[in-house]
Structure 1
């Protein structure tokens, strides 16, 4: 039987959270580096102490439903994370008021079931959810990469058009300079010819004038 093609192992996703500007932000990613890239951070927010991995069940559930997508909520609030969070309208009041702490949800009473069976079911469900989340994250990564390639192609096309226009303008300028230089050369040649003719005429006239003046002087004697 032919060997089955090897599939690329999927990375386990974790939920990371930070605060940037007016929003708390969260994302499901396989690593801190991937989270920073998704946030568009220019520095390591984890080293700065403003980003962390979170195990809040509500935040984890929201991010795992949309792996790789950055979710937001107004900073300091306990609102649910969403993809299109509204900008807070009471920023000034919020600065004057103490920050509210997220309400802790009471722990749900665990249903009675055999410990071993419950553990197996929970682990199987977690593995299945992790696989789905990892696949969704990789799909989102491919989408972002396709968008980047599309933007790069558009930029390259625009750059090629610009280079072509610049080359055409430079060629037109060079041709205009050549025509101008040729015309100036022709004018200078015509001017030299006129000067030569004028000099010849002046020489002829000087000879004729002297001859006529001599004749006039002899006539008066």
Structure 2
């Protein structure tokens, strides 16, 4: 019996496809993890390159009509996916024809050779597994390369930030030093200005007294 997924109505369903044994399998599931659970897979077929999300309209329509139900079709065929798929044609023909007791020994001996020849999917599956492992290894190698590139870029950004922060600190130090020098000079100028104002007031007072005496003298002289 096909394995059904727990319903999660709030999550959007997607259609995933893989090949297991004698069947291509497809299922409408909310995630890759859910699809793997529906297929009963013991490893991550997506990372191995043996499974994928599909947007084929016929496959999507069939799976969306029965969400969570694993649909099948004979491996390598392009027929519709159904809940109860038949075995591949060659395999079903080989198993459906019973051996005849009246056949000669020569023909009976030839039968295993024919069946062995028709059991070719096993080596093909081994090739698929090797290709999947090769694809997974290539993916991991590429991921390591991307991670190394990210670390290299991050180190370059960190180095650039350090240079920028150092330049900002140097400019700020120069600004603070110039501000202190300006404030010191301004204080000196202000002090000098205050001293000049004091001298000017003293001079004005002295002159006022002297002027008054001299003006008095002029009036007495005029009689």
Pick the TM interval, shorter chain. Answer: 0.5 to 0.7
Structure 1: 5+ residue runs without aligned partners? 1-12, 22-30, 63-71, 78-103
Q: 1:210 to 1:140 in 2, by over 3 A?
A: same
Q: 1:204 to 1:179 in 2, by over 3 A?
A: same
1:15-63: per-residue Cα shift (whole Å, max 9, x none)? 2224589xxxxxxxxx852695322259xx89922433x5x4xx4xx4x
**Shift in Å at residue 214 of structure 1?**
2.4
1:16/1:35 contact within 8 Å kept: no
The structure where helix makes up a greater share of residues is 2
* Structure 2 residue 112 is the aligned partner of structure 1 residue 120: yes
Cα root mean square deviation, aligned:
4.0
For 1:35-74, list aligned pairs within 5 A.
37=46, 38-41=50-53, 48-52=68-72, 54=73, 56=74, 59=75, 62=76, 73=78
Q: 1:121 to 1:39 in 2, by over 3 A?
A: same
* Structure 2 residue 163 is the aligned partner of structure 1 residue 143: no
1:18/1:51 contact within 8 Å kept: yes
C-alpha distance in 1 between matches for 2:40 and 2:132: 15
Q: 1:36 to 1:20 in 2, by over 3 A?
A: same
C-alpha distance in 2 between matches for 1:205 and 1:187: 27
Greater relative CO (CA pairs within 8 A, separation 6+): 1
2:27/2:69 contact within 8 Å kept: no
**Shift in Å at residue 217 of structure 1?**
1.4
TM-score, length of structure 2 as denominator length:
0.53
Q: 1:148 to 1:39 in 2, by over 3 A?
A: same
C-alpha distance in 2 between matches for 1:176 and 1:113: 96
1:162 equivalent in structure 2: 153
* Structure 2 residue 24 is the aligned partner of structure 1 residue 17: yes
Q: 1:160 to 1:123 in 2, by over 3 A?
A: same
C-alpha distance in 1 between matches for 2:23 and 2:138: 24
C-alpha distance in 2 between matches for 1:170 and 1:216: 68
TM-score, length of structure 1 as denominator length:
0.53
- Report the count of equivalent residues: 154
Bigger CA radius of gyration: 2
**Shift in Å at residue 216 of structure 1?**
0.7
